[in-house]
Amino acid sequence: MTRDLSYHANPDWLYSGDVNAVHGGIWIRHYGDYCDAVEITDLDGACGFRGAVMIERKSSGLYSRKLSDRKLQIKQALSIYGQDITFLAGMPRKAARAYIWEAMIRYGFNDTENENTEILQLESDGPMKFDGWTATRKQTGGDIGNYVMAKYLD
């Protein structure tokens, strides 16, 4: 569910996720048939890498010129939430578009910019390596959202 929280450096970016982004969240900016996203994954909860988070830049798009192909792509993406296109009918346009783009990214219709992926260790005594990953220690005062806004949201 997309919520309007304090995690907004730019009104073009919409945030969806936990109230404290250290537990996971995604910022989405859409324009026409494309979107950019910055996603935080709580690696502690996801795989046991205590105190670590992963930050990834992603992009997605409706690349086909055929309307039937675009509708199929959206239908597939919305299926991860158990919804179809009719679910969006009563939503405000901006919220419906954000819902579609989040579903597209979650479904896997995205490209991840691996060179911009960061693994951060947020705990002062947390491990720096886990299962082949190496983290960089970053003290954020417990709020990774402000770090993401300053570094990633233009």
Amino acid identity, position 56: E
Three-class secondary structure of residue 47 per DSSP: helix
pLDDT of the residue at 1: 41
pLDDT of the residue at 119: 96
Amino acid identity, position 60: S
More confident residue, 140 or 38: 38
Q: pLDDT tens, 3-42?
A: 444 555 567 888 888 888 889 999 999 888 899 999 999 9
Is 89 among the domain residues?
no
Is 13 among the domain residues?
yes
Is 97 among the domain residues?
no
Query: What's the structural domain count of the chain?
Result: 1
- Positive/negative CA dihedral, 90, 80, 105, 102: positive
Is 25 among the domain residues?
yes
Is 103 among the domain residues?
no
Domain that holds residue 44: 2-64+110-152
**What is the C-alpha separation between 40 and 63, in angstroms, rounded?**
25
Can you give the pTM of this predicted structure? 0.85
pLDDT of the residue at 128: 97
Is 23 among the domain residues?
yes
In whole numbers, what is the pLDDT of the chain averaged over residues?
87
Question: Taking the mean position of all CA atoms in its chain, how far away is CA 62?
Answer: 17
